[in-house]
A and B are shown apart, each in its own frame.
Chain A
Amino acid sequence: MGENKLLSSVKKFKFKDHSLGMAFLILVVIATILGWPNFLKIRNLTNILRQISYTGIIGLGMTLVIISGGIDLSVGSMTAFVGGIAIYFLNLFGPESIWGIVLTFLFALVLGSLCGALNGLLVAKFKMAPFIVTLGTMSIFRSLIQYISNAGTILSENMDYGKLGSGIFLGLPIPVWCFLIVGILLHIILNHTSFGRYLCATGSNEQVAKYSAINITIVKWLPYIITGFTVGMTAVMWSSRLNCINPSDGAGYEMDAIAAVVIGGTLMSGGKGSIIGTMMGAVMLGIINNMLVMGGISAFLQQAVKGFVIIVAVLLQYNNGNK
């Protein structure tokens, strides 16, 4: 009997370890059957990936923030802010300047990182609650870009800028490549560098980290900078896709990013998380959305389904944690 117990607990454990992958597979199978044959068409699949890449990239940075025990609500308005300023920057160059595009890309990454650094400064250095800090900066970024643009669309004057966001490289849209590359990079950072190790330790128990000679200020600061960096990347991808930025763009991005993180199995309480999980979470959200669209479900209901999925994901997480 004792052996039986052991056997069953081993089985359970394994399933629990891979429950996200299982859910992912099941979802793909369901989508394939329900959406036959359209779902499996390459065009549809690349479309799903493109759609989720914008908030997915931000979700990658958000994963680190949430592992550190924080949250970043400002990413949506930061996207509009960084994207808008980046287009102003781009317009300083000539309409055919390739260098302008390259520099704008870098500029957006730096500006995003700086915005993130501001969040991180307030959280890590001044020990303010992340929810409050980023709630505040969320308003600030949005308000600033609306003021600067006079609440009008900021148009790019560059002829080639649009090719960046809508371009396709080796069969995949460029934003998807960004999503994959940033994902792999952050996965390595999380699992194979000392920073990643310190990050999980700090998120798990700040006191323990402090007593273990870890500089918790820097460890808590960096995730916000990285998130700012991912926001900068999304801002470029998004604005170059449309060749413009609307000051109201990016609204609700924080929700999609957080949703991907949560579905990916990262603990909201911090200390444990997975970049691969977030990537799968983002794709799953995309598939669900795709199914709803193909099924002709009202766009107004799609948000409700998303909300439902998030709650179920957290519920499963909570139950696993209790066992």
Chain B
Amino acid sequence: MDEPKILLSLESIVKEFSSVRVLDRVSFNIREGEIMGLIGENGAGKSTLMKILSGIYQKTEGTIRMDGQLTNIPDYITAKRLGIGIVPQEFNLINYLTVFENIFLGNEIHKGLLLDKSKMREQAKAQLEILKMPLDVNKYISELSVAEKQMVEIAKAMILDTRVLIFDEPTTTLTPVEVRTLFSLMRKLKEKKVTMLFVSHKLQEVMNICDRVTVLRDGKLVSVDEVANLDANILAKKMVGRDFSQVFPPKKDRRAEEYVLEVENLSSGNMVKDVSFSLHRGEILGFAGLVGSGRTETMEAVMGLRKLESGEIRIKGKPVRIRNAKDAVSHGLGYISEDRQGKGIVMNYDIIKNISLISLKDKYMKGFLIDKKAETAASDHYIDEFNIVAASAKSELRFFSGGNQQKVYLARWMDTDPEILILDEPTRGIDINAKREIYEFIHRLSEARISCIIISSEMEEIIGMCNRAYVMREGKIASCLNEDQITEENIVFNATGIKKGVEKDG
């Protein structure tokens, strides 16, 4: 084989956000026509690096060369002109425009002053055919499934002569079948000599599709290897910097006989259909399933954040009516949302105000006025207990890392003295150390006889933490797994309805 041509070369790339270094002198090369995997834990800097390449962020230091030429990527448009396209994790599609209009968004073809819709439609159709995507170009984005939206993103990224295509965690929201389709598409693109960057934190997928793999950890480059020379365990070690098994504290069964929460035949909208489950005192209960299987919606319905159509909720054996989050709190329920920034913390509030937000009226009032001393004392206590790293209790949360934001969010709910704490994707987007602290914290809760429900799409989390786990599929409970039955195979099977063996030979 000839010496492979180097298409992109990154030289000691540094990125700082308000003087926090998220990328620390990262250097590596990408060869023409290869699929390069880029893996690392949440917070390792993968997405940041990809955003620098696609012009969304600006690097603080370092150089990028393309075809050996020094290259500047000041914005998204320039990246596109250079032939760098990105399929983002969160889709940037406009729901009330059609498929072809989205594909050409920002690159519209004109006929005089007006848009040449028929030409765009034709070209979009041709593009989809080349990519073998069974999509109607006249459909609105709102009518498409997640996988189809991703196809549109790919087609959109490919409509200019794209030489480098970046996939940012493309499989997070896909079913196994859809993942297979995506991979076969990527192989087709490879035949067309498109260079691809595949960002993921799923080892198996990287081993499956990539030629080489780059590992990032805490913003630093760990290694670049040929996939052929690697096995999954070595890769995992490189990624987290220690053995996986050390991440979870040893499991213990602290369940009491009595139920603290029983939910029967709960229905709400088309995401929650006839859901029944129960929770023991002191139990760590898992809710597994694919993204969009109705787990979050179920818990929001329990918390009174969604309208119930039917169903009964019993707390400590007594039927209760929960109409809003306030009712839920008064019954000892707490809910940590998966959408930390959208539904959790107040970004422009400091630690103190964030922690006391719910418990304010019960704990920190002196007559009509807020007892700021008591409030500050309480937050100091939590900063200590949760090991929250901050310049001061008065710094606004928007300057915090994901892990510290999550700890503040947890502290807020702990301050309501909950008996049942529902944690929805509690470790999403936080670094490995914060993750471990949160796992240990959940164990401490169960020690204190507080019951926890963990919703998680990370199977290791369900397997490593839970005493019992429900698996949801399409708004229904697919099964309830006990201690020994909580295995990857059982979860996948129940979550998708497809046996793992069948999926593998794809």
Interface centre among A188, A197, A215, by most chain B C-beta atoms within 10 angstroms, is A197
User: What are the residues of chain B within 8 A of A213 when measuring CB–CB?
Assistant: 324-326, 328-329, 358
CB 8 Å contact bits of A270-296 with B (1 = contact, 0 = none):
011000000000000000000000000
User: What are the residues of chain B within 8 A of A272 when measuring CB–CB?
Assistant: 348
Is residue B369 within 8 Å, beta carbon to beta carbon, of the partner chain? Answer: yes
A117 → chain B closest CB, angstroms: 21
Which of A204-229 touch B at CB < 8 Å? 204-205, 207-215
Is residue A200 within 8 Å, beta carbon to beta carbon, of the partner chain? Answer: yes
Q: Is the CB of B353 within 8 A of A197?
A: yes
Is residue B347 within 8 Å, beta carbon to beta carbon, of the partner chain? Answer: yes
Which of A1-32 touch B at CB < 8 Å? 5
Interface residues on A, range: 20 to 34
Is residue B19 within 8 Å, beta carbon to beta carbon, of the partner chain? Answer: yes
Given contacts A194-B361, A197-B370, contact A205 B328 (CB under 8 A): no
- Give A214 to B342 CA distance when docked, in angstroms: 15
A96 → chain B closest CB, angstroms: 39
Q: Is the CB of B357 within 8 A of A205?
A: no
User: What are the residues of chain B within 8 A of A124 when measuring CB–CB?
Assistant: none
Is residue B451 within 8 Å, beta carbon to beta carbon, of the partner chain? Answer: no
Q: Is the CB of A201 within 8 A of B368?
A: no
Which of B360-380 touch A at CB < 8 Å? 360-361, 365, 368-370, 372
- Give A209 to B346 CA distance when docked, in angstroms: 8
Q: Is the CB of B342 within 8 A of A205?
A: yes
User: What are the residues of chain B within 8 A of A43 when measuring CB–CB?
Assistant: none
User: What are the residues of chain A within 8 A of B305 when measuring CB–CB?
Assistant: 210-211
Q: Is the CB of A192 within 8 A of B325?
A: no
Q: Is the CB of B357 within 8 A of A210?
A: no
Q: Is the CB of A215 within 8 A of B326?
A: yes
Interface centre among B339, B346, B368, by most chain A C-beta atoms within 10 angstroms, is B346
Interface centre among A188, A200, A214, A215, by most chain B C-beta atoms within 10 angstroms, is A214
User: What are the residues of chain B within 8 A of A214 when measuring CB–CB?
Assistant: 325-326, 357
CB 8 Å contact bits of B329-343 with A (1 = contact, 0 = none):
100000101010011
In chain A, what residue has the closest Cβ to B356?
A: A197
In chain A, what residue has the closest Cβ to B365?
A: A194
Is residue A193 within 8 Å, beta carbon to beta carbon, of the partner chain? Answer: yes
- Give A208 to B397 CA distance when docked, in angstroms: 13
Is residue B248 within 8 Å, beta carbon to beta carbon, of the partner chain? Answer: no
Is residue B151 within 8 Å, beta carbon to beta carbon, of the partner chain? Answer: no
User: What are the residues of chain B within 8 A of A197 when measuring CB–CB?
Assistant: 353, 356-357, 360, 370
A231 → chain B closest CB, angstroms: 24
Given contacts A201-B346, A211-B337, contact A193 B368 (CB under 8 A): yes
CB 8 Å contact bits of B440-456 with A (1 = contact, 0 = none):
00000000000000000
Q: Is the CB of B346 within 8 A of A208?
A: yes
CB 8 Å contact bits of A172-211 with B (1 = contact, 0 = none):
0000000000000000100011100100110011011111
Please tell me which one of the listed residues A204, A212, A215 contacts residue B412 in the complex, with CB atoms under 8 A apart.
A212
Q: Is the CB of A204 within 8 A of B343?
A: no
A149 → chain B closest CB, angstroms: 40
Q: Is the CB of B369 within 8 A of A193?
A: yes
Is residue B345 within 8 Å, beta carbon to beta carbon, of the partner chain? Answer: yes
Given contacts A213-B324, A213-B325, contact A194 B370 (CB under 8 A): yes
- Give A212 to B411 CA distance when docked, in angstroms: 13
In chain A, what residue has the closest Cβ to B342?
A: A207
Please tell me which one of the listed residues A5, A208, A211 contacts residue B335 in the complex, with CB atoms under 8 A apart.
A211
A194 → chain B closest CB, angstroms: 5
Interface centre among B325, B339, B412, by most chain A C-beta atoms within 10 angstroms, is B325
Q: Is the CB of A205 within 8 A of B358?
A: no
Is residue B140 within 8 Å, beta carbon to beta carbon, of the partner chain? Answer: no
User: What are the residues of chain A within 8 A of B346 when measuring CB–CB?
Assistant: 200-201, 204-205, 208-209, 271
User: What are the residues of chain A within 8 A of B324 when measuring CB–CB?
Assistant: 213, 215
User: What are the residues of chain A within 8 A of B412 when measuring CB–CB?
Assistant: 212
Is residue B344 within 8 Å, beta carbon to beta carbon, of the partner chain? Answer: yes
Interface centre among B339, B369, B412, by most chain A C-beta atoms within 10 angstroms, is B369
Is residue B76 within 8 Å, beta carbon to beta carbon, of the partner chain? Answer: no
Is residue B493 within 8 Å, beta carbon to beta carbon, of the partner chain? Answer: no
Q: Is the CB of A208 within 8 A of B344?
A: yes
A135 → chain B closest CB, angstroms: 26
- Give A207 to B342 CA distance when docked, in angstroms: 7
User: What are the residues of chain A within 8 A of B400 when measuring CB–CB?
Assistant: none
CB 8 Å contact bits of B288-327 with A (1 = contact, 0 = none):
0000000000000000010000000000000000001110
Is residue B349 within 8 Å, beta carbon to beta carbon, of the partner chain? Answer: yes
A14 → chain B closest CB, angstroms: 14
CB 8 Å contact bits of B448-470 with A (1 = contact, 0 = none):
00000000000000000000000
A208 → chain B closest CB, angstroms: 6
Q: Is the CB of B335 within 8 A of A201?
A: no
- Give A10 to B245 CA distance when docked, in angstroms: 44
In chain B, what residue has the closest Cβ to A5?
A: B19
Q: Is the CB of B358 within 8 A of A212?
A: yes
A256 → chain B closest CB, angstroms: 27
User: What are the residues of chain A within 8 A of B337 when measuring CB–CB?
Assistant: 211
CB 8 Å contact bits of B1-36 with A (1 = contact, 0 = none):
000000000000000000100000000000000000
Q: Is the CB of A210 within 8 A of B370?
A: no
- Give A211 to B305 CA distance when docked, in angstroms: 7
User: What are the residues of chain B within 8 A of A209 when measuring CB–CB?
Assistant: 346
Given contacts A197-B357, A211-B305, contact A204 B348 (CB under 8 A): yes
- Give A210 to B305 CA distance when docked, in angstroms: 8
Which of B361-414 touch A at CB < 8 Å? 361, 365, 368-370, 372, 412
User: What are the residues of chain A within 8 A of B344 when measuring CB–CB?
Assistant: 208, 211
Q: Is the CB of A210 within 8 A of B325?
A: yes
A67 → chain B closest CB, angstroms: 11
In chain B, what residue has the closest Cβ to A193?
A: B368
Please tell me which one of the listed residues B328, B343, B368 contacts residue A208 in the complex, with CB atoms under 8 A apart.
B343
Given contacts A193-B368, A201-B357, A204-B348, contact A211 B343 (CB under 8 A): yes
A41 → chain B closest CB, angstroms: 39
Q: Is the CB of B325 within 8 A of A212?
A: yes
- Give A47 to B35 CA distance when docked, in angstroms: 75
- Give A193 to B329 CA distance when docked, in angstroms: 21
B28 → chain A closest CB, angstroms: 28
- Give A197 to B326 CA distance when docked, in angstroms: 16
- Give A188 to B367 CA distance when docked, in angstroms: 13
Given contacts A197-B357, A215-B324, A215-B326, contact A192 B348 (CB under 8 A): no
A-B residue pairs in contact (CB < 8 Å), sample of 24: A192-B369, A192-B370, A194-B365, A197-B353, A197-B356, A200-B346, A201-B346, A201-B349, A201-B357, A204-B346, A204-B347, A204-B349, A205-B343, A211-B305, A211-B337, A212-B325, A212-B412, A213-B325, A213-B358, A214-B325, A214-B326, A215-B324, A271-B346, A271-B348
Task: List residues of chain B with CB under 8 Å of any chain A CB.
Answer: 19, 305, 324-326, 328-329, 335, 337, 339, 342-349, 353, 356-358, 360-361, 365, 368-370, 372, 412
Knowing that A208-B343, A211-B337 touch, tell me 7 more A-B residue pairs with CB under 8 angstroms: A194-B360, A197-B353, A204-B347, A207-B343, A211-B344, A213-B329, A215-B326
Task: List residues of chain A with CB under 8 Å of any chain B CB.
Answer: 5, 188, 192-194, 197, 200-201, 204-205, 207-215, 271-272
Closest 7 CB pairs of A and B: A213-B325, A213-B326, A211-B343, A192-B369, A207-B343, A213-B329, A212-B357
